[in-house]
Amino acid sequence: MASQFLPTTLTNSKTTLSFSSSLSSPTPLPWRRISTTPHRRLRQSSAIQSKIREIFMPALSSTMTEGKIVSWVKSEGDVLSKGESVVVVESDKADMDVETFYDGILAAIVVGEGETAPVGAPIGILAETEAEIAEAKAKAATKSSPSSSSSAPAAAAPIPQETSNPAPAISQPPSPPSKAVSDGPRKTVATPYAKKLAKQHKVNIESVVGTGPFGRITAADVEAAAGIAPAAAASNVASAPVTSAPAKAAAAPSAPAPAPAPIPGSSVVAFTTMQSAVAKNMVESLSVPTFRVGYPVTTDALDAFYEKVKKKGVTMTAILAKAAAVALVQHPVVNATCKDGKSFTYNSNINIAVAVAINGGLITPVLQDADKLDLYLLSQKWKELVDKARAKQLQPHEYNSGTFTLSNLGMFGVDRFDAILPPGQGAIMAVGASKPTVLADKDGFFSVKNKMLVNVTADHRIIYGADLAAFLQTFSKVLENPESLTL
């Protein structure tokens, strides 16, 4: 299905997207004969031109499940032109301007500033003429009413409401459109996550009846078609033995239910969209079996080389990224990824993602084809990415295309640490600070050399200890002869 959100070029350091979906009734074909009086023909022509379009929350990245409205650039009643920015949406990694793909009037705002909505949910209504504004506002009211009515059962039973099948049945308005989607020749409309589930479980999405707004197919619809029991049902089954257990056993799980009283003077702060995405990724990484290998690297030559090239704008991060890319060329398995647990992929590109702490979260801008770029060009590219990351203006491919991640806390004096493996990658390198270390040679003579400890966390399903040890040896040799990075 062709996407309703069309990316455009980068303008004023912000990514823009176009969106809108028609909600009007199917119009008669232009060649259909209308054998009526002139008066009735005029009324028919008016009906053909009437269009009310729904503005959906766009999917700004492959991992985005919901978005937050940062601000509405336009207000209700404003006349819009095709290609004009309408709203600023905060995704899990960046803020993006979203522009309309149609001319019209912003008749109603469904989701206000500061509020969140799932991907594919309506956030506004676009009318074609002033005569349709009243009808558009009525549609906006129907959009907000089901969500408010569904909040009541959610409060009564928060666990089963979100994933159980009876939830769509309670909300009556979406039911008729879902049948229309399955019976009519219209295009199948589904959320990105629903499409992903359908592919995983080999479900023909064309045959699934959607229960979302205007027949949109949701993840719950696909799970139901695949015969997958909802998580809530599983939790109910699991809770059955607990109820039949002795009173002491039943008291144990109920003890943590009441939250501890907050410390006087403390405050609770909700996660930002970016923090929620980071938390989700960290939890997801726990499902991957990992192991860690540490390796000391002598940095006397590296320190001298850095002092010489930093005057030309070269950063230590760029040097480490370039050295890692050169080593990955010789050890491609460390650059591989395993996503399904049944096979792994040798990535054709070496894209080094580097962790950067920004206000309100963590992001990993990606140095694409780091092995092919000149060291000086790589440093320039890195500075541009950092500036865009701190302004929250990275494009999706600039933060979600990494094949290997580098995290450097050496600049803060940290001598060693372990990093958590990002989902979808094979390894992440944690670099500590370079510090003077007393060493003894084979003849028993002592000397002082600068050393830094490098720890790598890797996916043990595809990378083994010998693979990682060989990679670290190559990485160490590159840094001990850093002049080779400028060749």
Structure tokens at 364: 């990993």
Write phi, then psi, for 459 (nearest 5 degrees): -80, 110
Would you call 210 exposed, middle or buried from its count of C-beta atoms within 10 A (0-12, 13-18, 19+)? buried
Q: Rounded to 10 degrees, what is the CA torsion of 26, 30, 33, 39?
A: 80
Instruction: Give the integer Cα–Cα distance in Å for 161 and 155.
Output: 9
Give me the catalytic one of 39, 201, 397, 460. Answer: 460
Three-state SS at 381: helix
100 contacts 19 by C-beta, under 8 angstroms? yes
State in Å, rounded, how far the first CA of the chain is from the last one: 47
**DSSP letter string over 177-221?**
HHHHHHHSSPPP-B-HHHHHHHHHTT--GGGPPP-SGGG-B-HHH
For the question of residue 460 being annotated catalytic, the response is yes
What amino acid occupies position 370? Answer: A
Q: How far is CA 193 from the centre of its chain?
A: 11
Instruction: Give the integer Cα–Cα distance in Å for 344 and 327.
Output: 20
152 contacts 73 by C-beta, under 8 angstroms? no
Task: Report the DSSP beta bridge partners of residue 54.
Answer: 21, 125
| Nearest residue to 353 via CA among 402, 319, 387, 392 | 402
Q: How far is CA 384 from the centre of its chain?
A: 21
Task: Report the DSSP beta bridge partners of residue 79.
Answer: 105
Catalytic residues: 460
